Amino acid sequence: MLSVLRRIAQEIDLAGDLVSALNIVARCVREAMQVHLCRIYLVDPKQKQYVLMAFDNNELLPVPSQSLALDDGLLGLVSQRVAPVAHLNLTGDTADEKLAFLGVPIVYHRQVLGVIAVEEANHRIFTEDEEAFLVTLAAQLAGTVVHAKDMGFVFKTAVKPVEETCLQGIPAVAGVAIGEAIVVYPPADLDAVPDRQITAIAEELKRFDDALNLAREDIIQLQQRVEPILPREEQVLFSAYLQVLNSPELKTDIYNEIHDGQWAEGALRNVIKKHMLQFSMMEDHYLKERAEDILALGQRILVHLQERTAQPLQYPAKTILVGEKLTAADLADVPEGLLCGVVSYSGSGNSHVAILARALNIPTIMSAAGLAVTALEGKSVVLDGYHGCLYIDPSPKLLQNYKRWVKEEEELDRELQKLCELPTITSDGKEVQLLLNAGLARDVALSLNTATAGIGLFRTEMSFMNKPKFPTETEQRELYRKLLQAFAPRPVVMRTLDIGGDKPLPYLPIQEDNPFLGWRGIRFTLDHPDIFLMQLRALLSASENLSNLKIMFPMVTSVEEVDEALQLLDRAYQDVTQQGFKIAMPKIGVMLEVPAAIFQMEALAKRVDFFSVGSNDLTQYILAVDRNNARVCGRFDILHPAILRTLQYAVEKAHACHKPISLCGEIASDAVAAVLLLGLGFDQLSMNAGILLRIKWIIRTIPYNRAKELVARVLVLNSASLIRVEVEKLLDEVGLGALIRAGK
């Protein structure tokens, strides 16, 4: 049956539409199971009935009904049970026929989308293997059905629904954008290039060289265009493109193909596909995404090889760029000031597109499931980067609401600017320092404009990820020095190199079955003392004549790790002081992001000066939920009772040890969670610049004692949803309702 499943999957991929795909399934199932009839129904939620989408029979059984009620007969039983149903001796529709029936539900995220049913005109007992075959097929088919519906498919027509369609993706950059969708198509199709034998090898080599040079000029021009508006750290994206185009291996491989008699277009196709395959087969997500960059560059070369000029796109004043595989170059093609949103069918928050969009502060959605790019060109769209939603052809009411919300958001932000210079203290005297999370030069620029208490988390790995190699000690020192000087005397907490998981280095591929439980954070740096010492020396030397450096170790799971890290820090301190630098030993902290560390806080407190909770990973590990996995990310809830009780324990332990404790994860940027963090007694909260004044508004409005009472009340609840209701009720009562819904 495995070979049959593979064949069906391949044929579905080649089908042009959902109806064709379902008919393929019906035919293949009937032939594979040797039954008289296979029928596939899908649920029409509006009409509340099953609609027959496909069937295949050998004429021994009548054509099935075109539609059935959701509770009708055995199909209704399958739907009610959400489980396979097998029946013998079923009376037929038209006579006293005796039928054998097996039906399985097509389920996606607990919702029954339809039913696959097979019938036999004779007595027959379906085996467990046959049932498992249909269950597997239904699971595979569910994604196809959801994708087709998201693209606007409505049963037997390909007409888009009248009401606006909402496509769901992964929010990569928060914000709202209202504008016109401009679809980016590949400039050339490598798959369409045929094989062609040539004899004029020298001429073909020259054609390729000319095209390669023109593609290189394209990238250089794009790089020059964005140079005035992008920090140097972000411009490395285009340098990476140039490295690929200058690669001797790429050029040699194509030359060899041409020397073998393949024309330049075919040689380019073969080599690009080979390189793409090598990257796409890698387990590392970051390196997989580099296959898209190679394809984009190959297409640019092909454009020039084909000796035709790509027609420039006409960008409206409010451009929302949409594409199946957007690249950083696609964003740079948009004239300055016109790009207001980005939607990509593929990619993640680690892709070059997301990094560039984040640097430009452009609302962005990645992995927009079911994105019908061919149907979006010129459409009016609303991009909700907070929730990862893209509304196509929004209704006047929806559009009016979003416009009002955008206006109210702008008004609220202007009002909140008045809080910049005011202290972050509750009406009953509890002070909570608000700090910034940062990692790129643009983050630092935003931070300086918000009158913060300092940097609570500087992700030093960002400067490693945006370079083609490990940065030198001098390069690191210069970066750290600028940051420390810019914020002096305010504290700057530098987290040592934290790679692994969803933060790989492009020049150091790490292949692991489960990278989030693997070689990451301090585990990596302790295994590479050469890299660790280089960074520690750069950090220490950068703090000369300054007193605001703090160093924090990530992903700590044991006391031994901290002891070893402190020994290396002492060694780095000796090296730096011997070089003549006049420095004091900075305060040291550890991140509490692994549950094991929280239960060793007393021992850790004897070795470090402060604690900082990394709530993103802590939540992931406690709930055993991969927040990057679309199938389970809905279970990633920062208000889960287990998370709140763990945070309560951590704060109590830190204060019992007379150590300050901060929180630097995404939970600090959530208005509802911030109320609870206040009540839990955190000394500092660290967050992105855009949300800081809103959190300050909460702290200055809600008394500390009232927040503590709320925490005591919700900690006995067993549901995150109930906890959220209680906190939102308080926010409404004190006039902070604008923080939990769009607008003012």
Alpha carbons 98 and 344: distance in angstroms, whole number? 52
193: how many CB neighbours lie within 10 A of its CB? 20
Q: Are 23 and 56 in contact (CB under 8 A)?
A: yes
Q: Are 90 and 128 in contact (CB under 8 A)?
A: no
Identity at 606, one-letter amino acid code: K
Q: H or E element: which one contains 128?
A: helix 128-150
Short-list 505, 332, 358, CA closest to 439: 358
Upstream peptide bond of 363 is cis (omega within 30 degrees of 0): no
The DSSP bridge pattern shows strands 492-495 and 455-459 to be parallel
Angle at 482 between CA 480 and CA 485, to 5 degrees: 105
Alpha carbons 437 and 450: distance in angstroms, whole number? 12
Q: Are 22 and 40 in contact (CB under 8 A)?
A: yes
The torsion angle over the Cα atoms of residues 617, 618, 621 and 623, rounded to 10 degrees, is -120
614: how many CB neighbours lie within 10 A of its CB? 28
3-state SS class at 14:
helix
Alpha carbons 190 and 208: distance in angstroms, whole number? 15
User: Residue 675 to residues 534, 567, 597, 623, 650: CA-CA distances in angstroms?
Assistant: 40, 39, 25, 22, 17
Q: How distant is the alpha carbon of residue 463 from its chain centre? A: 20
The residue with tokens 């020192």 is 477
Query: Residues 241-264, buried b or exposed e (16+ Cβ, 10 A)?
Result: beebbeeeebeebbbebbeeebbb
Burial class from Cβ neighbours inside 10 Å (0-12, 13-18, 19+) for residue 42 reads buried
The residue with tokens 């496909």 is 54
Question: Which residues are known catalytic residues?
Answer: 352, 664
Q: Are 338 and 153 in contact (CB under 8 A)?
A: no
Query: Residues 718-741, buried b or exposed e (16+ Cβ, 10 A)?
Result: eebeebbebbbebbeeeebebbee
- Rounded to the nearest 10 degrees, what angle do helices 285-305 and 201-226 cross at? 120
Burial class from Cβ neighbours inside 10 Å (0-12, 13-18, 19+) for residue 306 reads middle
Contacts of 333 (CB under 8 A, 6+ apart): 222, 313
Short-list 366, 369, 395, 367, CA closest to 382: 395
